[in-house]
Amino acid sequence: MPSARPETRYAKSGVLNIAYQVVGKGPLDLIYVPGWISNVELNWDEPALAHVLERLSSFSRLILFDKRGTGLSDPVPPDRLPTLEERMDDVRAVLDAVDCSQAAVFGFSEGGLMSVLFAATYPERISALVLYGVFAKRIWSPDYPWAPKPDERAQEIEHLERNWSERMDLDQLVPSEDDAFKERLATYFRRSVSPGAGAALMRMNTQLDVREVLPAIQAPTLVLHRTGDRDAKVEEGRWIASRIPGAKFVELPGDAHTLWAGDPDEVVDEIEEFLTGARRGPEPDRVLASVLFTDIVGSTAQASKLGDRRWRELLERHHALVRRQLERYQGRELDTAGDGFFATFDGPARAIRAAQAVVVGVRGLGLEVRAGVHTGECELHESKVTGIAVAAGARVAGAAGAGEVLVSQTVKDLVAGSGISFEDRGEHELKGVGAWRLYSVVDA
């Protein structure tokens, strides 16, 4: 995410306050019109979404906002839901607030309808239009057979409102994502709008129909759609593109409807090329992380003594214990090579406490573990974490003795005041990373 969390400001749209943020200093203005629900501040807490927004802001001045009734914008009475025209006014109010006379508009899902209407109504304010995962109406008709029928739509809304307090059924939006992703998405929705308001917005969406507006769009238009999208069928995307004069349609692989699910870089690559004429691809994300490495001391001798079956059973118990502590201290397991673990944490104190809990816990299994913790800037490549900080963490762990948690000077300095105590172990020459002063954890 940006080096500093973007400031949230407010634009006046009629009597309502519309929350917005501005990120990046690129040569073109790009306003992102979100789908059903958004929250401009929570956007940055979801790594995949933050990555998409960071990439968009790398080639634009990116303008983000929450539609009225969602996120940090003013709520609306459930019996007085906004019209599409009123929501379109929110776009204009935000553009005016940031002194933007003309922008490219990027509409996702439900946000596409507002984007379409805005592009047709204010052509002088649109330099380009980008649509991803959009639909033109939300109820089936003989001439629009891809939308759900009225009773299906009503059941969907009722089910969603009834299960709002639990993990929602998100298989329609992100069928191939894991449970952790779906739980984060459900939490994002719950924290962005109430169940009644969320259901009311869906009922409003059900009434929308912008089919007749499509031929009036004059701006250069890119329509993106995933082949297996279950929430908005790819045939809808093709049909919408065919109705917009000169529109370019790009079909992408995958089944994710949610913008930041699946492979979002494919989406951003297409947008970047369409708006700038070139695609640079994603730069490696760099984040500050605390890395933890553990491994069993004397594992070869233990395995030889116990035999394959008993050693495998003992390893399974060891792995289960380590994973419990990673979960307890909010660590992320990245690799398990034989009898060792590599994990990351967003704070060094949690990494130390997880390591100490592992060291103490495995003694009950008759094992001794060594562990090392270092904090530094890491590069994120899809699901991998790399960089000098990772290599240093592995070397720190290699210098530890049986039952010891060693940390770098950086870690010791960062946890000052946490109550964790250390003993100085002096300088160590760590292969490939130089001389480092290391400290042994005494009490975590």
Provide the 10 A C-beta neighbour count for residue 360: 13
pLDDT number for residue 240: 97
* Mean of per-residue pLDDT scores for the chain: 91
5-13 contacts, C-beta under 8 A, 24 or more apart: 5/41, 5/44, 6/40, 6/44, 6/64, 8/40, 8/41, 8/72, 9/97, 11/65, 11/90, 11/93, 11/94, 11/96, 11/97, 12/93, 12/97, 13/68, 13/86, 13/89, 13/90, 13/92, 13/93, 13/94
User: Between 105 and 190, whose confidence is greater?
Assistant: 105
pLDDT number for residue 383: 66
Residue 301: alpha-carbon gap to chain centroid: 44
Q: Give residue 168's pLDDT band: very low, low, confident or very high (50, 70, 90).
A: low
The rounded distance, in Å, linking the Cα atoms of 274 and 148 is 32
pLDDT number for residue 261: 93
| b/e code 285-320 from CB counts within 10 Å (16+ = b) | beeebbbbbbbbbebeebbeeeeeeebeebbeebee
* pLDDT tens digits, one per residue of 242-256: 999 999 999 999 999
Instruction: Name residue, tokens 């899902």.
Output: 109
* pLDDT tens digits, one per residue of 201-213: 888 878 889 999 9
User: Between 160 and 303, whose confidence is greater?
Assistant: 303
Instruction: Name residue, tokens 């459930």.
Output: 78
pLDDT number for residue 283: 60
pLDDT number for residue 285: 66
Bridging pattern class, strands 434-443 and 405-408: antiparallel
Question: pTM of the prediction?
Answer: 0.66
Question: What are the φ and ψ backbone dihedral angles of 62, each rounded to 5 degrees?
Answer: -90, 130
Tell me: pLDDT of 186 over 90.
Answer: no
Q: What percent of the chain has pLDDT over 70?
A: 96
User: Between 379 and 279, whose confidence is greater?
Assistant: 379
Tell me: pLDDT of 220 over 90.
Answer: yes
pLDDT number for residue 165: 67
pLDDT number for residue 85: 82
* pLDDT tens digits, one per residue of 38-73: 999 999 988 899 999 999 999 999 999 999 989 999
Q: Which of 371, 373, 386, 374 is nearest to 287 (CA)?
A: 386
Tell me: pLDDT of 308 over 80.
Answer: yes
10 Å CB burial of residue 130 (0-12, 13-18, 19+) is buried
pLDDT number for residue 2: 55
Q: Which segment of 100-114, 327-341, 362-376 scores lowest on mean pLDDT?
A: 327-341
In order of their start, the domains of the chain are 9-276 (3.40.50.1820), 285-443 (3.30.70.1230)
10 Å CB burial of residue 431 (0-12, 13-18, 19+) is exposed
What is the average per-residue pLDDT within 252-279? 93
